[in-house]
A = this chain, B = another copy of it.
Amino acid sequence: MSNRRRTPLKIVKNEVHSCTPILRLNILHNLPFFNNLSHQEVTEINKIFNDIGYVSEETIYHMADRSTRLCVIASGSVKLIRQNADGKEVLMDILKQGEFFGSLDPFGDTYYQETAIALQPSCILKIDSEEFRTILQKYPVVSLQVLDTTAKRLLEAQERIKQLSAHSVENRIAYTLLKLGQKLGEQNENGILIQIPLSRYDIAGMAGTTPETASRIISKFKNADILKTGRKWTIIKNIEQLEKMVKII
């Protein structure tokens, strides 16, 4: 069988990706937390942001750096990881266009609790957290939106704590894949395609296990015709089966 190279995704060059001013404004306008503001107001806010481009695998900030900035993804995607003392990596979250990360805290003497790394060529809008705080004070609508997002993330984090405390690795891998599909997947004729370069190492870091165990379980899922994977993509073929495994309460 000569089936080399059947990647179902567009090949993307790993080039620094910067925003055009118009794109920037457009993106800011469509952010969930700014889209209740007037064009005038967003234009004003736009001036305070800087944009910086990153290539794949490039670090946006390191854990333990002084945390002074809030970041917004204008394009691309970002992973947030924490490392423990022996260097084991825990993948906290994967964020996509329009989501924010970094520091919300305006009080000095705080440090990033995680490392942020671009998963794809990405354009990141940055703002000083103190300046962002002024925006929050000025526009209560924005505050509430940021609060809602944060509250939602807290609920998700708590769900993950429950998973880690009370479910098997197989369960957690299924849950991880489901969440990834919901958040980053797009439906196509074969199923739900997740077009993000996720290594076994990343999956393991999200599910709280080792790459070997993740690989074993994913093989099992592939044999059961639930999944199909390549180095830089994953397709969920049978989402019902995954849901059944996770047993949503």
Q: A residues within 8 Å of B by Cβ?
A: 64, 82-86, 88, 90, 92, 104-105, 113-114, 133, 136-137, 140, 143-144, 146-148, 150-151, 153-155, 157-162, 164-167, 205, 208, 247, 249
Residues B161 and A113 in contact, CB atoms below 8 Å apart: no
- Contact between A158 and B84, CB atoms less than 8 A apart: no
How many copies of this chain sit in the oligomeric assembly? 2
Q: Are A166 and B90 in contact (CB under 8 A)?
A: yes
Evaluate contact between B249 and A162: CB separation under 8 angstroms: no
Contact B136 A147 (CB under 8 A): yes
- Which chain B positions have C-beta within 8 A of A148? 104-105
| Chain A binding surface SS class | helix
8 Å CB contact of A85 from B84, B154, B247: B247
CB distance from A32 to the nearest CB of B (A): 14
Asked if A151 and B105 sit within 8 Å, CB to CB, the answer is: yes
Residue of B nearest to A86 (CB): B166
Closest 7 CB pairs of A and B: A165-B208, A157-B157, A164-B164, A84-B166, A143-B143, A88-B166, A90-B165
Q: Which residues of B contact A160 (CB under 8 A)?
A: 161
Q: CA of A157 to CA of B82 in the docked complex: distance in angstroms?
A: 13
Q: Which of B64, B86, B140, B249 contacts A136 (CB 8 A)?
A: B140
Question: In the complex, which of the residues B105, B137, B155, B161 contacts A140, with contact meaning CB atoms closer than 8 Å?
Answer: B137
Instruction: Determine the chain B residues whose CB is within 8 A of the CB of A140 once the complex forms.
Output: 136-137, 140, 143
Closest to A207 in B: B165
Closest chain B residue to A82, Cβ basis: B162
